[in-house]
Structure 1
Amino acid sequence: MSTPIIQYLTTGVEVQQAADSLQTATRLAIDLEFDDMRHRYGRNLALIQIFDGKVVYLLDPLPLTNPAQELEPIWMLLRNPAIEKVFHSCKSDILLLDELYDVHVRNILDTSVQYTLLGESDNNISLGRLIQAELGLEVDKGEQKSNWLKRPLTEAQKVYAANDVFYLFELADRLRVKLAELGRAEWADQENAALEDVRYTRDDRPYLRMAGKYRIMPTEMPLFRDLYMLRDQVARQLDKPPYMVFANDRLSELVRDTPRDTNDWKTARGLHPELKRTPYLDQLAALSPDNFVAVPEPAATGEQRRFPFRRRLNGEKAAKADAREQLLTQLKTHITTDINIYVANLVLSNRLVADIVELGTEQVLRPWQKTILREACQNHSLDYAQLTTPFDAVA
């Protein structure tokens, strides 16, 4: 394949011209480069790559005066259901577009979804490995961890960014043929259609995602939370990632061995200098053992508890839930033998098994997954009807 023709666009006028030329496209290959708490605070869009089969457009949002407004012609293309948008591993991209610009991408084809449904591997495949496996080409990924917010972009960065979309049409077409040969084209259609429903939701308790919470006692969670939130406040003010205010590992360490007073906080290692000045030093002092007033954590919702459904069951109900889980485990073994372990995991992952036990297949699974389960039940004389309804409806 030839070298991509690259147009690097830095003004609203150029963006509008590119959008005008892309209006008649039937499909576009899309990728984003963005910074997620590595070099600045928050998630920041750094580059948009679009390939129409002829030209790779690199749209730079950083020089734009009003990116949300000046990029709207591009967002209109992404919202247009008549244009197929080809991505590789798109969830982080579409979440960012939804979060920052209220863009809900329509008509998505994800080559990582296609590859996963071939059932050749358990893990998501990187774009570089997929290009090598399907096209026999080595693509330089040396710029993968670049600071995409730094300007000017190097020529190497531009070529890297262009390659992220340049091969997507050929990959999508090859994978589509392979899936059709396996009778799985409809699987991909259903999974890709479901990507339109992916939406960004704000996490009100982000500190619960921190690995450090497992190194503290439950009673220490209020201090862990308040120290996390103070670090986040300073990071936002400085426009720095929180780890530059102090490292993630220090969070649980400061909770387990909290400085006793202002002087202790001033000499504490690994804290950004801004924390050791007012008003933040006073806020840190308020977290010291003699001063801290713990506000209890709100009770976890059902979605935030681990295995909330099974914990509520006992006696006969617990036995029925166990029976349903055993049937699903049996079916997973049969699908592994009849097809392979990778497809079995796509239909009955541990998460899906837990959801089916509670909610039933009709609410949890896509049509293609239900078809596989029905066929496995028929082939092995098992009762699919036992799995369809929510648990509360089980006789």
Structure 2
Amino acid sequence: MAEIQYLTTPDAIRQAADWLRNQPRIAVDLEFDDMRHHYGRNLALIQLFDGATVYLIDPIPLVDAAAQLQPLWDILGDANVEKVFHSCKSDILLLDELYGVRVRRITDTSVLHTLLAESDNNIALGRLIQSELGIEVDKGEQKSNWLKRPLTEAQKQYAANDVLYLLELADRLADKLAELGRTQWGAEENAILEDVRYTRDERPYLRIAGKYRIQPHELPLFRDLYLLRDQVAKELDRPPYMVFSNDRLSELVRDTPRSTNDWRAARGLHPELKREPYLQQLAAMSPDKFVPVPEPPMTADQRRFPFRRRLNGERAARADAREQFLMTLKAHIANDINSYVANLVLSNRLIADIVEQGTERVLRPWQKQLLRDATQRHNLDYGFISEPFDAVNA
């Protein structure tokens, strides 16, 4: 068993960083709360493993976490140190959003597993460790409140397990990829992860509105209730669902309380909403008082119809022929290799993008080479799909 060090002070963190920055690679994982127990996305724990020692680094006791964790951020951004994650996108997005950290030289074991194309590509770390290393890992603390202190010994062991096997797992998967001649596939896919960056969603309510089939005339009220809920949640430091649920949000839009008393009696609302000033804000949303502010117009990119819907006549027929070519090629790859590999290079989304933009713009080098080899093997013309649609159909 590896040694586990639980670090809570700037000096201890700095000393660990001085050691880790000289290691060739480290395993990395984060525990964070994403609107589950508190408002927003909050870093709760950083787990690092150098092959001998697990470092559990606790940001909660730090007075200025952003500055006092800088020695670790420097390591994460150092291309000389390989960082091994499992399914890292949520972790690197959080680091970018909260601390402006850009992680360099990433190896993601979920990416390596996907490229083996042995099964569907979404696999939990515990199941992957069990299938590849024969070790069963306890996942009982998966839904813990990671912001609550003190951490239990069970939580610490769970957190350690999330990095303890990553280096061995990465080696095992890399060896299997090498046997299949797919090492370059992994290198290209992992390199792309360095470019994953956080972008703020300026209108997050639209995602929920779509799910609940909110009509255009209902959207102003839906938006204003959503934003009020978010404001109260932030002030209470509680997730928005604790103020009222998404289901209740859509119900309030379609069956809106008609008076202050009705709002006060409404079920499923946090008590804070039934006090001033929020009660009056809710009352102003009653049907006879609400003055809807139109939703800002969508940008040109948001208004843009999908490519195929913009075509008709002969151009639509040529696009159909290009799509059929890709479907035929996908079937060949599925027969030659397997259906999982076929879907890695020609998923439905990639096919739609290739029809419009061509393989040279859409695909990674390893994917393009796979398609070139397949077209050559089956006497097909790769040039038919390589360039943008308008370039070859002007």
TM-score by length of 1: 0.97
- The amino acid that maps onto 2:102 is H
Match of 2:170 among 154, 162, 172: 172
- The amino acid that maps onto 2:368 is K
Deviation of 1:265 (Å): 0.8
- Residue of structure 2 in register with 1:222 after alignment: 220
Query: After superposition, where does 1:194-205 map in structure 2 within 5 Å?
Result: 194-205=192-203
Query: After superposition, where does 1:51-130 map in structure 2 within 5 Å?
Result: 51-130=49-128
How many residues are matched? 393
- Residue of structure 1 in register with 2:39 after alignment: 41
Deviation of 1:130 (Å): 0.7
Distance 1:342 1:50 in 2: 32
Root mean square deviation, CA, Å:
1.4
Contact 1:31–1:87 (Cα < 8 Å) also in 2: yes
Contact 2:209–2:222 (Cα < 8 Å) also in 1: no
Q: Is 2:371 the counterpart of 1:364?
A: no
- The amino acid that maps onto 1:191 is E
- The amino acid that maps onto 2:243 is V
Distance 2:217 2:379 in 1: 51
Match of 1:348 among 336, 346, 349: 346
Deviation of 1:264 (Å): 1.0
Distance 1:211 1:112 in 2: 32
The list of structure 1 runs, each at least 4 consecutive aligned residues, that deviate by more than 6 angstroms after superposition, is: none
Contact 2:209–2:219 (Cα < 8 Å) also in 1: no
What 5-or-longer segments of structure 1 have no aligned partner? none
Tell me the alpha carbon deviations over residues 53-107 of structure 1, each in whole angstroms, 9 at most, x when there is no partner: 1110000000000000000000000000000000000000000000000000000
Distance 1:259 1:82 in 2: 60
What 5-or-longer segments of structure 2 have no aligned partner? none
Distance 1:118 1:307 in 2: 35
Q: Secondary structure of the residue that 2:79 maps to in structure 1?
A: coil
- The amino acid that maps onto 1:380 is H
- Residue of structure 2 in register with 1:148 after alignment: 146
Seq. identity, %? 74
| Stretch moving more, 287-296 or 9-18 | 287-296
- The amino acid that maps onto 2:108 is D
Query: After superposition, where does 1:1-395 map in structure 2 within 5 Å?
Result: 3-210=1-208, 213-301=211-299, 303-304=301-302, 308-395=306-393
Instruction: Go from structure 1 to structure 2 and tell me whether the alpha carbon gap of 1:306 and 1:177 turns closer, same or farther (over 3 Å shift).
Output: farther
Instruction: Go from structure 1 to structure 2 and tell me whether the alpha carbon gap of 1:303 and 1:335 turns closer, same or farther (over 3 Å shift).
Output: farther
Contact 1:213–1:252 (Cα < 8 Å) also in 2: no
Q: Secondary structure of the residue that 2:96 maps to in structure 1?
A: helix
Deviation of 1:372 (Å): 1.1
Tell me the alpha carbon deviations over residues 244-263 of structure 1, each in whole angstroms, 9 at most, x when there is no partner: 00011111111111111211
Deviation of 1:187 (Å): 0.2
Distance 1:42 1:266 in 2: 27
Instruction: Go from structure 1 to structure 2 and tell me whether the alpha carbon gap of 1:161 and 1:211 turns closer, same or farther (over 3 Å shift).
Output: farther
- The amino acid that maps onto 1:258 is T
Tell me the alpha carbon deviations over residues 203-236 of structure 1, each in whole angstroms, 9 at most, x when there is no partner: 0111122266433323211211111111111111
Instruction: Go from structure 1 to structure 2 and tell me whether the alpha carbon gap of 1:302 and 1:323 turns closer, same or farther (over 3 Å shift).
Output: farther
| Stretch moving more, 248-257 or 385-394 | 385-394
- The amino acid that maps onto 1:145 is K
Distance 1:217 1:205 in 2: 16
TM-score by length of 2: 0.97
Instruction: Go from structure 1 to structure 2 and tell me whether the alpha carbon gap of 1:218 and 1:393 turns closer, same or farther (over 3 Å shift).
Output: same
- The amino acid that maps onto 2:354 is I
Deviation of 1:182 (Å): 0.2
Deviation of 1:302 (Å): 5.5
Contact 1:86–1:109 (Cα < 8 Å) also in 2: yes
Contact 1:29–1:85 (Cα < 8 Å) also in 2: yes
Contact 1:212–1:248 (Cα < 8 Å) also in 2: no
Contact 1:109–1:192 (Cα < 8 Å) also in 2: yes
Distance 1:284 1:266 in 2: 9
Distance 2:351 2:24 in 1: 39
Deviation of 1:297 (Å): 2.4
Contact 2:85–2:166 (Cα < 8 Å) also in 1: yes
Deviation of 1:305 (Å): 5.8
